[in-house]
Amino acid sequence: MKRALVGDIGGTNARFALWENNAMHSVQVFATADYTSPEQAIGAYLAAQGLARGELEAVCLAVAGPVSGDEFRFTNNHWRLSRQAFCRALQVKQLLLINDFTAMALGMTRLQADECREVCAGVADAGRPAVVIGPGTGLGVGTLLALGDGRWMALPGEGGHVDLPVSTPREAQIHQQIALETGHVSAETVLSGGGLLRLYQAVCALDGQQATLQSPAAITDAALAGDPVALAVIEQFCRFLGRVAGNNVLTLGGRGGVYIVGGVIPRFAELFLRSGFAESFADKGCMSGYFKNVPVWLVTAEFSGLLGAGVALEGVNA
């Protein structure tokens, strides 16, 4: 394939790169709030790279949300995209839109040994699905299947919007407290950047504490500095993530392993690795033994979604 553009567009940031000779280069990150549309942001990227519109053979964008039809509305930002209008504006013949966690799952096929850390020891069953899950602006969930002969399939889905699982009296109290604010409590309601703040506020309300911290970053910083309330919130966040990840393994037969991705967990990686994630992950009653040899990795690679978009583009044009 000649020169193409790949993009990974989330709620907060849009990442773009050029894709040539089955490899990615020239990565730049743009704040979605600074641009009115993906066309405008890509136009700025092309200008920064010294490229004119019409010089790209194809574009693949990984986007947060279900993909169908001509028009796509981004789940966690204000952008909209019409396939036909996009291709006209940027003079592109081929536009491939894929779910962001389809791209993230495909990105795991390019993962290097130094780009992940072991969370739970095990041996991946190459013939079974792998689960890719990650808290960021929202909560993404994807599935990766090995087809043999170096071929892969990623299954899109909206697993971040399943109900938040509750397994202890304390978690039931937290669920009820959050439901007073949000109504329905999905996994993403808690397991996301904004969800971390919501969880902190719920814990403070239940324990009669004043909620003095005003952002996810402030909660993370306080936990890393040893604040007991913030530490308890991070611990509960990790346990909820373990429950959701474990549910996905059971549902999918995901003995190919679990990849923890996204921008939230790496900010407190050491706390995560010491947390009750692994205990909650396998806390499934009579099915707890199912998790004995299922590996879990924390992915530290910065641009897996972009790489996955390139892998998807190569597959379409193979």
Instruction: Looking at the structure, tell me whether residues 211 and 134 fall in a common domain.
Output: yes
Instruction: Looking at the structure, tell me whether residues 291 and 194 fall in a common domain.
Output: yes
- Judge whether 226 and 259 are in contact, CB under 8 Å: no
Instruction: Looking at the structure, tell me whether residues 312 and 261 fall in a common domain.
Output: no
Residue 317: which pLDDT band, with cuts at 50, 70 and 90?
Answer: low
How far apart are the C-alpha atoms of 73 and 76, rounded to whole Å?
9
CATH number of the domain where residue 257 is located: 3.40.367.20
Instruction: Looking at the structure, tell me whether residues 203 and 135 fall in a common domain.
Output: yes
Instruction: Looking at the structure, tell me whether residues 198 and 267 fall in a common domain.
Output: yes
Q: Whole-prediction pTM value? A: 0.91
Residue 238: give the domain boundaries. 112-300
Instruction: Looking at the structure, tell me whether residues 310 and 281 fall in a common domain.
Output: no
- Average confidence score pLDDT of the chain: 93
Higher-confidence residue: 70 or 312? 312
Angle between helices 100-107 and 304-316 (to 10 degrees): 90
3-state secondary structure of 52: coil
Q: How many CB atoms lie within 10 A of CB 22?
A: 10
Collect all residues with Cβ–Cβ distance below 8 Å to 157 and sequence separation of at least 6: 99, 101, 141, 142, 143
Which pLDDT score, from 0 to 100, does residue 284 have? Answer: 96
CATH number of the domain where residue 94 is located: 3.30.420.40
Instruction: Looking at the structure, tell me whether residues 122 and 47 fall in a common domain.
Output: no
Instruction: Looking at the structure, tell me whether residues 295 and 308 fall in a common domain.
Output: no
Q: How many domains does the chain fold into?
A: 2
Instruction: Looking at the structure, tell me whether residues 275 and 139 fall in a common domain.
Output: yes
Instruction: Looking at the structure, tell me whether residues 282 and 230 fall in a common domain.
Output: yes
Instruction: Looking at the structure, tell me whether residues 145 and 271 fall in a common domain.
Output: yes
Residue-wise pLDDT tens digits, 37-84: 999 999 999 999 999 988 999 999 998 777 887 888 887 778 889 999
Is residue 308 scored above 90 in pLDDT? yes
Residue 288: which pLDDT band, with cuts at 50, 70 and 90?
Answer: very high
Lowest pLDDT segment from 111-115, 162-166, 248-252, 255-259: 111-115
Instruction: Looking at the structure, tell me whether residues 184 and 139 fall in a common domain.
Output: yes
